[in-house]
Amino acid sequence: MDAPFVRKTARSAQMYREAARWIPGGVTANIKYFAPYPIVMDSASGAYLYDVDGNQYIDYNLCYGALILGHGDQRIIAAINDTFSQIGTTIFGTPHPLEAEMARVLVDLYPGIEKVRFTNSGLEATLLAIRLAMAWTGRKKLAKFEGHYHGSYDQVLISVTSQKRKREQRPVKTLDSLALPDYYAENTVVLPFNEWDQTEEILHQHRHEIAAVIMEPVQGGFIPPDETFLKRLRELTHQYGIVLIFDEVKTGFRTGLSGAQGLYGVIPDLTALGKVLGGGFPVGAVGGRGEMMEICSPAGGVDILTTEQRQPSLGQGQPLFHSGTYNGHPVVLTAGLATIQTLQESGVYPQLEANTTQLRKGMEEILNRYGIASQTIGVGSIFNLVLSDQPVRRIQDVLESNLSLRRKLDTHLLNQGVFIKPLNRFSLSTAHTAEVIDETLERLELAVKSLVRK
């Protein structure tokens, strides 16, 4: 166990042990855990987090990328206060004007979105998208990519973790939780990201059974797709009548206002959004082709589709079921709209990306200077630090890098007041100004010095 870490975080350790008496593993989501114990936070402001021991950290986790404006942005807080004072309640449980307002904003921004439904998390969004695709096509199988995460439910907890493998080997099907029903393993086809020949072959083999291909267009928010990969996938899925779902929970509003589909000019049939969309509150949304989305309409459901729109699989009457007590929560939509309005101001994305570049270059320069083979890889304001000098195109390239050194470096970063979850990506916010980046690089240099001294 790292002695400085333990010395600095004694109260976290104690609170963690206490929490573990009442909460399995002391965490309310498995992802929040890291060894020897996660740091317990007390407050936050802008780019900074403060833990229960009084340590200050520059936050590069930002709630797994959700907080694109940083912590406690005043525009979000003011908008929420205004909404509360106007509406006089916390939630209506009926339609209200913000729902249509946010839906219209998403339709304007995302080329693949004509109609929208809201959910309370990214997982619910991908789940609804998959159900829509299954109903639309009348097929049973789901194709997903190795290493892509779509939420914590049975159908997609397959091959989320990746295995080391040679390029010619096919990705293996792994089950990422206990108690996943065999049905899902049997009806899931696993594809290799950025490897077109294999992807094409596997899709061809199962072309009559696959309802949807679901993918993170930028794997893990940091491995970009090869230039032609997304385009070919779009063409092939179209040809085979397979619904293409972009899970833009991470890339939405991160790779620009129109997500990865805007950046790469490839339009999916359905899009899942989350994270940034809620301005730090629980949210998800599914948007997509009007006729496909319309099958969950209770006002006639499938029956309101024209003969040309209707798929043979859809039958008569019964709409596709989608519900949720808290869907379209007014406070969540207020926070999301305030976030999007801020992002729409001119110069916000260029500045965010310039600051990200400054940090990436600075990190690479410092690590090189200390003789540590490294590179940063990412898109927009999210990137990862990979300790290897080989090109990174597949998750296997990350698995082949020096992960044990990276883990050590991450502990030294925590000790120096740079917060990331060990081995995780770095996300930036508008609160990460050029001064904050300079401060980060100073802390990184101290972390690297103490790392190489050991």
Which residues contribute to the site for ligand PMP (CB under 6 A)? 64, 121-123, 126, 149-151, 216, 247, 249-250, 274, 284
Q: Which residue's CB is nearer to ligand PMP, number 57 or number 149?
A: 149
Burial 105-142 (b: 16+ CB within 10 A, else e): bbeebbbbbbbbbbbbbbbbbbbbbbbbbbbbbebebb
Q: Which residue's CB is nearer to ligand PMP, number 216 or number 445?
A: 216
Rounded to the nearest whole angstrom, what is the least distance from the CB of residue 216 to ligand PMP in the complex?
5
Tokens of 331: 């406070």
Looking at 16, 57, 149, 264, which residue is catalytic?
149
Looking at 144, 269, 275, 410, which residue is catalytic?
275
Report how far residue 427's alpha carbon sits from residue 381's, in angstroms, rounded to the nearest whole number: 6
Rounded to the nearest whole angstrom, what is the least distance from the CB of residue 277 to ligand PMP in the complex?
10
Q: Which residue's CB is nearer to ligand PMP, number 149 or number 426?
A: 149
Looking at 73, 247, 269, 410, which residue is catalytic?
247
Rounded to the nearest whole angstrom, what is the least distance from the CB of residue 428 to ligand PMP in the complex?
16
Residue nearest to ligand PMP (CB): 122
Rounded to the nearest whole angstrom, what is the least distance from the CB of residue 367 to ligand PMP in the complex?
26
Q: Which residue's CB is nearer to ligand PMP, number 151 or number 287?
A: 151
Active site residue 247: yes
Residue 243, classed as helix, strand or coil, is strand
Rounded to the nearest whole angstrom, what is the least distance from the CB of residue 56 to ligand PMP in the complex?
26
Active site residue 149: yes
Beta-strand pair 375-379/243-247? unpaired
Nearest by Cα to 454 from 421, 415, 422: 415
Q: Which residue's CB is nearer to ligand PMP, number 322 or number 412?
A: 322
Exposure of 390 in the CB half-sphere (CA atoms within 13 A):
11
Q: How far is CA 451 from CA 183, 370, 448, in A?
A: 47, 10, 5
Phi, psi (degrees; rounded to nearest 5) at 269: -80, -40
Report how far residue 118's alpha carbon sits from residue 101's, in angstroms, rounded to the nearest whole number: 12
Report how far residue 109's alpha carbon sits from residue 298's, in angstroms, rounded to the nearest whole number: 26
- List, by residue number, the catalytic residues: 149, 247, 275
